[in-house]
Chain A
Amino acid sequence: MGKRKSVSFGEPQVKEFTRDEVEGSKKEDAPAKIRRNNRVIENTDFDFGTADQRAENQNFVNEKGTRMKTGLHTIDSDDEEENAQNEKKLKYKKLDIEKVQGLEADTYHDNLDEDGNMITGFNLKDEEEEGEFDSTGQFHFKKRDDRDEWLDTVDWKKIKNKEKEEESTKMEEDAKPDEDEKLSEREILEKIVAKMNPKETVTKCLQRLGSGASASNIPAWKQKRLDKLAKRKAAAKGQNASTSKYEVKEEVNKEEVAQLTNLVDQLSRRGYYDIYTDTYEKIKHKISSMPADEDDVLDMFGEAIEGGKSIAEQATAEVGLSDSDTKWEYKFKDKDDDIKGPLSTQEMERLKDTHKQAADIFCRRTNSGNTWYSIKRVDFDLW
């Protein structure tokens, strides 16, 4: 509930919930990026705080963002724990192996038991190689030294910059999707119909366009004969450029097929799975039966929001009213038949301010039904 919750009914003014605020808070909560495995650790602060502090953090997120549970994970990963330990460099007293009682010397390699297995000596030599014991007997592994010559030569800053660049270019690409993607269903259908012939289905249309384009599928000998025929025809007509024309046409066809498949693909992605079997007439009918372009309406809204004022007009157009030509009718309380007007909004406002018995005047917008409202209560500022 966030902001709304904090506002009780008693207060008339409610602080508006701005988008920037929300985003701002989100940015703050985003965890810092840490590269662990290749040892570039930028944020070495692994202080996660106590459980209470963590809970507080969580509340902070919830208050600003949503009411739902977000925030930190409840289970810390082992990886983090290990790192935290390394960073803190826990100090401990090293155990003096000399003082440990009951250690045996290393057994000899030829010291085998009855079955021929080697017996390991009862001592801590192997362990000493891998790490060390502290005074309480706790074993600590040595820091693994996995330095890598090549890895040390890598310039991580450069890579990071490049990553950022790539991300930003990707974002830009995402921001402006293909022009075709923006097309509404109606527009797509219209484009498809433009490519089709009457009584044709989309599949047949594709075949027709494709047959031209896929001339190379024709056996070579047939192709040769066709070319010869075309040449002879052209010669008969006195033209000699027909072969190149033929090729140009082929190109155009290929392009058209690509466009058509693209359009059809877009439609099927939007749920028009039977588009391939739809005929020219069916699609035409579909177009004509689409009342208004939904996407268009949205687009108009989008522009209108930027434009400012026109959105109200857009919205009220549906109700049959628009700001610019709102006209008002009015009458006096006791004279039901005597309807005056129409007046503009400004004139009505003047009437409301100047008339002595404003309470007795009733008004309504023209074409807005039969309900009469007291002029005193109507807020003409809004129209």
Chain B
Amino acid sequence: MSYMLPHLTNGWQVDQAIQHEEDKVVCVRFGHDWDPTCMKMDETLYSVAEKCRNFACFYLVDISQVPDFNKMYELYDPCTCMFFFRNKHIMIDLGTGNNNKINWAIPDKQEFVDIVETVYRGARKGRGLVVSPKDYSTKYQY
């Protein structure tokens, strides 16, 4: 479903997308369109994009095409999702120990919508760190 979402093809575009969104959460998926993990994530992203359009926008970035952020954001995973609000990176306590990003695919739409909404609500209240409603630490993986 990657072809249904807007791609950012250079560092400048990524910057602008993040900086110029005034009242929405910007969710950026870093990865490759052909990557199976990304494919799963993109499917979720695409299906929730319409539902969340009032408070979030979603962009895809190919980390081979745009390597500018790889070092800064430590983009070494096949698929990484990060959230920004008013040019500020919003961290999420996912229970995984890495609060900076979601570096796996979330196939459950409702779960993802809830995360995005929590990020939006938290960010609007000035929080730099929000708690994801679901704990993704291994003890909950059945």
A–B pairs, 13, beta carbons within 8 Å: A4-B18, A4-B87, A4-B89, A7-B89, A16-B88, A316-B54, A370-B110, A371-B111, A371-B134, A377-B95, A377-B131, A377-B135, A379-B131
* Of A4, A13, A371, the contact of B110 (CB 8 Å cutoff): A371
Q: Within the assembled complex, what's the spacing in Å between the Cα atoms of A4 and B87?
A: 7
CB-nearest residue of chain B to A379? B131
Given A14-B89, A379-B122, verify A318-B54 contact (CB < 8 Å). yes
Nearest Cβ in chain A — how far from B86, in angstroms?
7
CB-nearest residue of chain A to B95? A377
A373 proximal to B (CB < 8 A): yes
CB-nearest residue of chain A to B68? A1
Interface residues in A285-319 (C-beta closer than 8 Å to B): 301, 305, 311-312, 314-319
Question: Which interface residue of B108, B114, B130 has the most chain A CB atoms within 10 A?
Answer: B114
Nearest Cβ in chain B — how far from A345, in angstroms?
12
A368 proximal to B (CB < 8 A): yes
* Of B51, B114, B125, B128, the contact of A381 (CB 8 Å cutoff): B125
Please give, as numbers and ranges, the residues of chain A lying within 8 Å of B35 by CB-CB distance.
Answer: none
Please give, as numbers and ranges, the residues of chain B lying within 8 Å of A369 by CB-CB distance.
Answer: 110
B52 proximal to A (CB < 8 A): yes
Nearest Cβ in chain B — how far from A352, in angstroms?
12
CB pair B51–A318 under 8 Å, yes or no, is yes
Please give, as numbers and ranges, the residues of chain A lying within 8 Å of B95 by CB-CB distance.
Answer: 377
Interface size on B, residues (CB 8 A): 40
Please give, as numbers and ranges, the residues of chain B lying within 8 Å of A383 by CB-CB distance.
Answer: 121
Q: Within the assembled complex, what's the spacing in Å between the Cα atoms of A1 and B69?
A: 9
A241 proximal to B (CB < 8 A): no
Interface size on A, residues (CB 8 A): 37
CB pair A318–B133 under 8 Å, yes or no, is no
A143 proximal to B (CB < 8 A): no
CB pair B132–A377 under 8 Å, yes or no, is yes
CB pair B124–A312 under 8 Å, yes or no, is yes
B5 proximal to A (CB < 8 A): no
Give 15 new A-B contacts, CB below 8 A, not counting A314-B54, A368-B114, A382-B130: A1-B15, A4-B87, A4-B89, A16-B86, A305-B23, A311-B124, A312-B121, A319-B113, A374-B134, A374-B135, A377-B131, A377-B132, A379-B118, A379-B131, A382-B118
Please give, as numbers and ranges, the residues of chain B lying within 8 Å of A275 by CB-CB distance.
Answer: none
Interface residues in B47-75 (C-beta closer than 8 Å to A): 51-55, 72, 74
Please give, as numbers and ranges, the residues of chain A lying within 8 Å of B55 by CB-CB distance.
Answer: 315-316, 318
Given A1-B72, A318-B51, verify A66-B121 contact (CB < 8 Å). no
B100 proximal to A (CB < 8 A): yes
